[in-house]
Structure 1
């Protein structure tokens, strides 16, 4: 995962046939699954963020045609390292006594 700004922007244009300057967030994951890079256009420049997990792997969605649309909540969970595909209920209702 040695790609930088120009390489990732070129992949967005050639492979995904999308505009890297559109304001959408484009995510790329390394082979091992523990490294994630995000490319997006903001305020007149490209931003490139990288995150490496100390343990585990990013839960990566299956794609049809190479493009997956995520909600804001799904993206947040993905970036935090949670498996957003199988959310776990954390709040349990109290039983009436």
Structure 2
């Protein structure tokens, strides 16, 4: 089971990321594009072009952990800034993001179907 401490720093990598990248490719992107240390214990989040796939890279003290989540409905809400860089999130905003909610204003990114 994963457990993150309350002081966890969450970084969103702006722009679209090639979702074929694994441990080494994402760690290199953290170092070169985000100018950060992938072994810092911070959580780094990456999103693909379509917006339904999210990858997270995290150093747990023993090794790198690579997590992936794909939404069946909706999209992960990402800042609409045209440049590359990073945005910091709180753990509460991270929880909303992982559920497919707009972390800026908590609304779903998809409308549930109403059964009649």
* TM-score, normalisation: structure 1: 0.84
Higher normalized helix content (fraction of residues): 1
The one of 95, 98, 102 equivalent to 1:83 is 102
* TM-score, normalisation: structure 2: 0.71
CA RMSD between the two structures:
1.4
Distance (Å, rounded) in 1 between the aligned partners of 2:93 and 2:50: 21
Alpha-carbon distance, 1:61 to partner = 2.5
Asked if 1 retains the 8 angstrom alpha-carbon contact of 2:38 and 2:58, the reply is yes
The one of 77, 81, 85 equivalent to 1:66 is 85
Q: Which residue of 1 aligns with 2:8?
A: none
Runs of 4+ in structure 1 deviating by more than 2 angstroms, as ranges, are 61-65
* Structure exhibiting the larger radius of gyration computed from Cα positions: 1
Alpha-carbon distance, 1:81 to partner = 1.1
Q: Is 1:37 equivalent to 2:55 in the alignment?
A: yes
Measured at CA, do residues 35 and 22 of structure 1 come closer, stay the same or move farther in structure 2, by a change above 3 Å? same
Alignment map for 1:2-21 (pairs within 5 Å): 2-21=20-39
**When the two structures are aligned, how many residues end up with a matched partner?**
88
